Amino acid sequence: MIRVLKDFSTGVGLLAKGFGLVFRSPKLLLIGAVPAVISSALLIGSLVLLATNINDIAAWATPFADDWSETVRSVTRVAAGISMIGAFLAISMLAFTAITIVIGGPFYEHIAETIEDTELGGVPDAEQVPWWRSALNGVRDAVLLIGLAILFAIPLFAAGFIPVVGQTVVPVIAVCVNAWLLGIELTGIPFTRRGKTLKERRAVLRSKRATALGFAVPSYLLCLVPLAAIVVMPAAMAGGTVLAHRLLTGQPGAVPAYQPYRNGTQAT
């Protein structure tokens, strides 16, 4: 348990390091903020539209409650509305990140490459991936991750109706699941530079799950704060680059390199 907490705090520290890196270089902060501003406008507009019509949407989604008593019907539809907004935020956060990365592909590649090359020792034999190919890979990975988010959102939405548990345990699980998926997205560029696939990326992050969650959970929660993502995204991209680099290379700094399993034993 102590090791898990230590690894989690290491992940939090990597996000803090990401903030330090972009704040020391206002140019990187501005570069990363441009696509985040565009995506934030789209996200906020969609959320306002949903919140404005949430009562009608909740009623449409719970026709079985039409004949219930007014109190029970109201409680049920309030719970449905909260669950819908929670599911929307979960999915839209991943979509927001995906859209931001696609729109700002060259911007975030510049941030990741600058940090790896100037702060972390570089990437020997790094693959030079054209922007259009990187964008297509990003869209493909985002579709897969959003699909996973929807699959998780369905049972979590249903569990939201369970008294007490639906308002306490379920939101915590939802945050962890969606933060994990967000962390996978934020670490994508360093893996792409090395020719690594999404499957390999997930395996590497699973090897240090507590560290990855320590980085991803506060990133996810901060991105939920209106307009905060404009600053958080560049910092999270920087922190994700450091996390991925350390996992892939074993660079000193608290995160051991990923060692794949071979023939049932961990390679050394």
Residues of the chain with pLDDT > 90, as a percent, come to 19
Q: Is the pLDDT of residue 267 over 50?
A: no
Assess contact for 243 and 258: CB atoms under 8 A.
no
Show Cβ contacts of residue 215 under 8 Å, excluding neighbours closer than 6 positions: 11, 12, 14, 15, 183, 186, 239, 240, 243
Given this model, what pLDDT does residue 134 score? 61
Q: Is the pLDDT of residue 268 over 70?
A: no
Q: Is the pLDDT of residue 242 over 90?
A: yes
Q: Where is 261: in which H helix or E strand?
A: strand 261-262
CA 185 distance to own-chain centroid? 6
Separation between Cα atoms, residue 148 and residue 133, nearest integer Å? 23
Q: Encode pLDDT of 119-166 as tens digits.
A: 887 776 666 666 566 666 666 766 777 777 777 777 877 777 777 777
